[in-house]
Structure 1
Amino acid sequence: MTTTTRPEHAPTTTRARRPVPAQIARRIADTPALWRPLVRFDAAARFATRLPAASDDHEVWLLTWLPGQGTEWHDHGGSAGAFATVQGVLTEQHATPDQGGGPAVVVPGARRLVTGGVRPFGPRHVHHVVNADPVGAVSIHVYAPSLTEMTEYTRHGSLLHSSGSQLAGVNW
């Protein structure tokens, strides 16, 4: 098996010039000067701010999570993405979307995303993320293309049913 290393100056896009969210998330995570001054925690809700590292084909967000803060079940409206945990630990559960349009099925178990880890996902990814640890967490999220809508889901046993949506420019 041959392993090649991508030079640091190589683009973070595929041949079709589509951004590679995991590479962008890693690059931003490895450059604390871009995000560290923006970190703040809010006891009422997760804090989120869009970073100026965005471009026409992707966007980058900084999120902070106090212990117990998390997301509801959601997708990313057809955007692919990735997130890098830059402080603390996040826990993710995900679901497998039904190909025929039926409810998504929750995959048993959870994934712990420790500092330094990057979690890529495709355009049909459905998940729930929470800070289940006793210290604050910080993460960098990249979406390509930029988010326009996120569908929310309600869990009924192992099934997720669409329960609404959030729209860019309206809900965030």
Structure 2
Amino acid sequence: MSLELASETARAPLSPDALRTIVRDLAEQPDRWIHKVRLATDERWYERLESSEDHEVWLISWLPGQSTGFHDHGGARGAFTVALGELEELSLGGADQGLLIRRLSSGTMRAFGPEYVHDVRNTASGPAVTLHAYSPPLSEMSHYELRAGGLVRTSVEGADQW
């Protein structure tokens, strides 16, 4: 294998299943992240735990009422797990499914491809903590509003805004 081909192979995005394994394994080692958790009252608190050429891992805390709003991941694949607490995820199904609402209890994992758009929110009465992995690392995210005709992009933010 040529050096150039090896370099290209090393930069290929990880699959959603590989990302699911990363967050699952990290969730099983709370001594690596629990001491970093902060509960912020104004908005969700987050910290990048790992960063490499092919993926990154984030720790996020959620107080009741906090949410992401509908957003994508700038073409990155992703996975997350609810390490503590409970959240709700909203996404659009096909034309015949409409709005899908999933309750995500502690230990639940979700993995998705590069086109996925969702809204994650804490509708429970207590805080929650999640671990997220993205590949390639996030470079931008678009935000959307849910309107009668579907999702409409309202803004795009770059990694320099996090």
Query: TM-score normalized by structure 1?
Result: 0.81
**CA RMSD after TM alignment:** 2.0
Please identify, of 109-118 and 128-137, the stretch whose mean Cα deviation from structure 2 is larger. Answer: 109-118
8 A Cα contact 1:50 1:61, kept in partner: yes
- Distance (Å, rounded) in 1 between the aligned partners of 2:152 and 2:13: 34
Q: CA deviation at 1:29?
A: 0.8
Please, which runs of 5 or more residues in structure 2 have no aligned partner?
1-11
1:105 to 1:165, Cα distance in 2 relative to 1, 3 A: farther
| Aligned with residue 115 of structure 1, among 85, 96, 106 | 106
- Distance (Å, rounded) in 2 between the aligned partners of 1:133 and 1:17: 34
The correspondence of residues 6-25 of structure 1 with structure 2, limited to 5 A, is 18=14, 20-25=18-23
8 A Cα contact 2:68 2:119, kept in partner: yes
- Distance (Å, rounded) in 1 between the aligned partners of 2:61 and 2:149: 28
Report the counterpart of residue 74 of structure 1 in structure 2: 71
Q: Which runs of 4+ in 1 moved over 4 A?
A: none
Report the counterpart of residue 42 of structure 1 in structure 2: 40
1:140 to 1:105, Cα distance in 2 relative to 1, 3 A: farther
Report the counterpart of residue 57 of structure 2 in structure 1: 60
Report the counterpart of residue 156 of structure 1 in structure 2: 147
| Aligned with residue 30 of structure 1, among 12, 28, 31 | 28
Q: CA deviation at 1:17?
A: 7.8
- Distance (Å, rounded) in 2 between the aligned partners of 1:151 and 1:47: 19
1:17 to 1:92, Cα distance in 2 relative to 1, 3 A: closer
SS of 1:146's equivalent in the other structure is: coil
1:105 to 1:64, Cα distance in 2 relative to 1, 3 A: farther
1:93 to 1:17, Cα distance in 2 relative to 1, 3 A: closer
Please, which runs of 5 or more residues in structure 1 have no aligned partner?
1-15, 98-103
- Distance (Å, rounded) in 1 between the aligned partners of 2:36 and 2:51: 15
Residues 87-117 of structure 1: CA deviation (Å, up to 9, x unaligned): 00010011259xxxxxx99842300111011
Report the counterpart of residue 89 of structure 2 in structure 1: 92
Q: Decide which structure has greater helix share.
A: 2
The correspondence of residues 98-109 of structure 1 with structure 2, limited to 5 A, is 107-109=98-100
Q: CA deviation at 1:24?
A: 0.5
Length, aligned pairs only:
149
Please identify, of 159-168 and 16-25, the stretch whose mean Cα deviation from structure 2 is larger. Answer: 16-25
